[in-house]
């Protein structure tokens, strides 16, 4: 405890009086003409060119747009809503809001009009930024209800009555800048560390989302604490492709660069991620588990097509060495000179060329969060010589409260408590966290705040975990998602689902068994892998729905279920399952925008299929 408090005091001293706005000004002075953000807006499809903005340009443009917001009537503490993909204008709108003293609220692009209306009504933004016609349609109902001061549309081809185009908004800022420069300067200089900088709306796996109020101090402490864990020197080049409405991307793609400096390549469509990796060759890469699983599936697909048995054997040997090497780097282990030499040879000859094919050969920090990384996926990338550092936290803790890092990681865990942050388990195994990263409240939701925070300031995460003797945390499952069968057995559905998804053919899986005598599973096909496997089986031109009924495909899925069951205890084993003829996505409502299962939605949408698995 003394060490934690000492670390906390040290970090507090380091960030005392600083805000994101003041840190951004310091970064701009230090980085100047270095590239800050690059995107593909206005670039011809297929081109390798990028539209790049330097740090000097970013801050200058941000101050100009802040003047436009002030001119429109935005007051300190107002909310500014942004619905857009990852592009420089999204970042600029965020920066402009901060310098006008307002609170930026990025909103998921996949929300339905009804959901948008709730968030808009709750946050009451004074200005709304929208990117394109789809976003305008999602906001049409909300805009008639909240009547903001202005709506700004980024896509110049999208015409909306009474809305400003992005060009008009920029011109307004330029016209007002000389008149309002002193006012903008006063506003950002007046920001205090305890002032809110953003609302992050929870992705809402159940019920309406809650608005997490994050302050400048929350984020400054989070970044300083994380810096001590990651210990990553050198050039910071990364891709930003997850939604800015998600706390991880907001931290990694907006705030951390403004505080520490970086060059971020913005990917508007995550489907373009693989191509962008090859172009950018980042030095740091973050992905939710589903992204890592998809990359793993792609590599496995390439390996499966290799016909040269000698090459396949060489890859298998190299990956076995890679896993042995990464395991030797785990906390408490030692790498022998012999293993180091063997790994260096394999890495140079086989592993680095494999990583280079993916654009991952320069990565010196790789992270994962949002959900526990399946152990087999972590081991697969360890075989490539990657230590993927699992991170654990939530929007309500400004992101990470525990993390793995160089010299302090253990496969299958989400690391140890970050510097200055306390983590412990409640009597029922719930993970509790406390520290300056914890929010003080949800916005206008005292009941939810009381459920989240106890009298001693501990955040009740809702996750069940275990702590080993060295302080490494392992997440078992969500407290409310544990299955209790009719025999009284407590079962983690995510554990079962991760084993099922180890088959490249299985896209998503949901295990069910609450109050039932046995566990069943609802499965979907991977839309990218299924057609490839079908082609190898001689099944041509079949839709995903047709493949879900094909006996050969069903046979492979049955084998995957059997393989998963071999690793599960008898109460956990899947007794019956069904393969759906559809794909799950954030748009189809079964997944959150960060690709986590909305269990209650699946339970409701497929109640008949679940009931059928228990019939008779």
Let me know whether 472 and 576 are in one domain. no
Let me know whether 185 and 163 are in one domain. yes
Query: What SS3 class is residue 575?
Result: strand
CB 252 within 8 A of CB 206: no
Query: What SS3 class is residue 173?
Result: helix
Q: 381 CB contacts (<8 Å, ≥6 apart)? A: 292, 296, 366, 388
- Choose the final residue of a domain: 453, 479, 505: 479
Alpha carbons 491 and 512: distance in angstroms, whole number: 10
Q: Could you tell me if residue 233 is inside a domain?
A: no
Quick one: tokens of 361? 């050969």
Let me know whether 499 and 393 are in one domain. no
Residue from 553, 602, 567 nearest 496 by CA: 567
Residues of the chain with pLDDT under 70: 1-2, 203-207, 616
- Choose the final residue of a domain: 455, 479, 503: 479
Alpha carbons 537 and 155: distance in angstroms, whole number: 45
Cα of 156 vs its chain's centroid, Å: 29
Residue from 150, 184, 188, 152 nearest 66 by CA: 184
Q: Could you tell me the CATH number of the domain that includes residue 445?
A: 3.40.50.12780
The three-state DSSP-derived secondary structure of 175-188 is: HHHHHHHHHHHHHH
523 φ, ψ (degrees, to nearest 5): -125, 150
How would you classify the pairing of strands 388-394 and 399-403? Answer: antiparallel
Q: 397 CB contacts (<8 Å, ≥6 apart)? A: 421, 433, 435, 437, 438, 439, 459, 461
| Angle (deg, nearest 10), helices 55-72 and 20-31 | 140
Let me know whether 474 and 490 are in one domain. no
Residue from 306, 272, 318, 315 nearest 291 by CA: 272
Let me know whether 164 and 82 are in one domain. yes
Q: Could you tell me the CATH number of the domain that includes residue 538?
A: 3.30.300.30
How would you classify the pairing of strands 35-39 and 263-266? Answer: parallel
Let me know whether 182 and 289 are in one domain. no
Structure confidence at residue 288 (pLDDT): 86
Q: Could you tell me if residue 595 is inside a domain?
A: yes
Structure confidence at residue 568 (pLDDT): 87
Let me know whether 48 and 154 are in one domain. yes
- Number of structural domains in the chain: 3
DSSP, residue by residue, 191-260: --TTSEEEEEE---SSSS--EEEEEHHHHHHHHHHHHHHH---S--EEEE-S-TTSHHHHIIIIIHHHHH
Alpha carbons 35 and 448: distance in angstroms, whole number: 42
Let me know whether 258 and 301 are in one domain. no
CB 209 within 8 A of CB 120: no
Q: Could you tell me if residue 210 is inside a domain?
A: no
Quick one: tokens of 493? 């559905």
CB 23 within 8 A of CB 258: yes
- DSSP β-bridge partners for residue 524: 508
Quick one: tokens of 585? 């996505």
Q: Could you tell me if residue 228 is inside a domain?
A: no
Alpha carbons 483 and 476: distance in angstroms, whole number: 12
Alpha carbons 440 and 139: distance in angstroms, whole number: 30
Let me know whether 293 and 375 are in one domain. yes
pLDDT in tens, 574-585: 999 999 999 988
Let me know whether 531 and 465 are in one domain. no
Structure confidence at residue 46 (pLDDT): 84
Let me know whether 409 and 440 are in one domain. yes
Please report how many Cα atoms fall inside a 13 Å half-sphere around the Cα of residue 23, on the Cβ side. 25
- Hunting for tokens 């989400």 — which residue is that? 414
- Find the domain containing 508 and state its range: 482-614
Q: Residue 259 class from Cβ within 10 Å (0-12 exposed, 13-18 middle, 19+ buried)?
A: buried
- Choose the final residue of a domain: 211, 229, 262: 262
Let me know whether 250 and 318 are in one domain. no
Quick one: tokens of 376? 């087999």
Q: 529 CB contacts (<8 Å, ≥6 apart)? A: 297, 301, 504, 505, 507
Q: Could you tell me if residue 6 is inside a domain?
A: no
Q: Could you tell me if residue 149 is inside a domain?
A: yes
Query: What SS3 class is residue 80?
Result: strand
Alpha carbons 377 and 380: distance in angstroms, whole number: 5
pLDDT in tens, 33-71: 999 999 999 999 889 999 999 999 999 999 999 999 999
Please report how many Cα atoms fall inside a 13 Å half-sphere around the Cα of residue 258, on the Cβ side. 24
Q: Could you tell me if residue 575 is inside a domain?
A: yes
Structure confidence at residue 614 (pLDDT): 93
Q: Could you tell me if residue 309 is inside a domain?
A: yes
């Amino acid at each position: 405890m003394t060490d934690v408090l000492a670390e906390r005091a040290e970090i507090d001293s380091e960030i005392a009086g600083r805000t994101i706005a003041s840190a951004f000004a310091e970064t701009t002075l230090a980085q100047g003409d270095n590239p800050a953000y690059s995107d593909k807006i206005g670039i011809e499809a297929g081109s390798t060119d990028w539209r790049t903005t330097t740090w000097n340009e970013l801050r200058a443009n941000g101050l100009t747009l802040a003047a436009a917001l002030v001119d429109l009537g935005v007051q300190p503490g107002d909310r500014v809503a942004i619905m857009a993909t990852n592009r420089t204008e999204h970042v600029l709108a965020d920066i402009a809001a901060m310098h006008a003293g307002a609170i930026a609220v990025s909103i998921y692009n996949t929300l339905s009009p009804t959901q948008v209306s709730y968030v808009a009504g709750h946050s009451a933004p004074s200005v709304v930024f929208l990117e394109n016609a789809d976003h305008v349609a999602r906001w049409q109902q909300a805009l008639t209800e909240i009547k903001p001061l202005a709506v700004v549309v980024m896509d110049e081809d999208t015409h909306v009555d009474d809305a400003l185009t992005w060009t008009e908004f920029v011109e307004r800022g330029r016209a007002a800048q000389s008149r309002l420069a002193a006012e903008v300067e006063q506003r950002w200089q007046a920001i205090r560390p305890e002032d809110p900088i953003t609302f992050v709306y929870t992705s809402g796996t159940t019920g309406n989302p809650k608005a997490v109020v994050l302050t400048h101090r929350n984020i400054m402490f989070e970044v300083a604490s994380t810096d001590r864990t990651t210990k990553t020197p050198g050039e910071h080049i990364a891709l930003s492709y997850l939604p800015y409405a998600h706390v991880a991307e907001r931290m990694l793609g907006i705030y951390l660069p403004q505080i520490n400096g970086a060059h971020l390549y913005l990917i508007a469509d995550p489907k373009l991620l693989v191509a962008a990796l090859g172009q950018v060759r980042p030095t740091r890469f973050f992905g939710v588990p589903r992204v890592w699983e998809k990359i793993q599936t792609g590599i496995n697909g390439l390996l499966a097509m290799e016909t040269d048995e000698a090459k396949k054997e060489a890859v298998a040997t190299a990956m076995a060495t890679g896993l042995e090497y990464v395991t030797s780097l785990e906390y408490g282990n030692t790498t022998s000179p012999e293993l180091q030499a063997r790994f260096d040879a394999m890495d140079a000859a086989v592993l680095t060329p494999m990583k280079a094919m993916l654009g991952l050969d320069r990565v010196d920090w790789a992270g994962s969060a949002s959900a526990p990384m399946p152990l087999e996926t972590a081991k697969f990338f360890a075989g490539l010589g990657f230590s993927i550092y699992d991170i654990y936290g939530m929007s309500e803790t400004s992101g990470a409260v525990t993390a793995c890092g160089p010299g302090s990681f253990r496969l299958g865990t989400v690391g140890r408590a970050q510097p200055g942050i306390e983590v412990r388990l409640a009597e029922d195994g719930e993970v509790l966290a406390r520290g300056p990263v914890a929010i003080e409240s949800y916005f206008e939701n005292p009941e939810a705040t009381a459920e989240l925070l106890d009298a001693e300031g501990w955040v009740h995460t809702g996750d069940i975990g275990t702590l080993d003797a060295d302080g490494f945390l392992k997440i078992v499952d969500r407290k409310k998602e544990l299955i209790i069968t009719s025999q009284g057995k407590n079962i983690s559905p995510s554990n079962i689902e991760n084993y099922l998804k180890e088959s490249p053919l299985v896209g998503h899986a949901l295990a069910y068994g609450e109050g039932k005598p046995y566990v069943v599973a609802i499965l979907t096909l991977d839309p990218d892998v299924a057609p490839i496997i079908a082609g190898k089986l001689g099944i041509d031109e079949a839709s995903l729905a047709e493949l879900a009924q094909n006996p050969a495909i069903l046979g492979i899925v049955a084998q995957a279920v059997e393989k998963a069951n071999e690793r599960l205890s008898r109460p956990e084993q899947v007794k019956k399952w069904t393969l759906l003829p559809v794909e799950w996505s954030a748009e189809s409502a079964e997944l959150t925008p960060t690709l986590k299962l909305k269990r209650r939605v699946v339970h409701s949408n497929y109640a008949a299929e679940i009931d059928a698995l228990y019939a008779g």
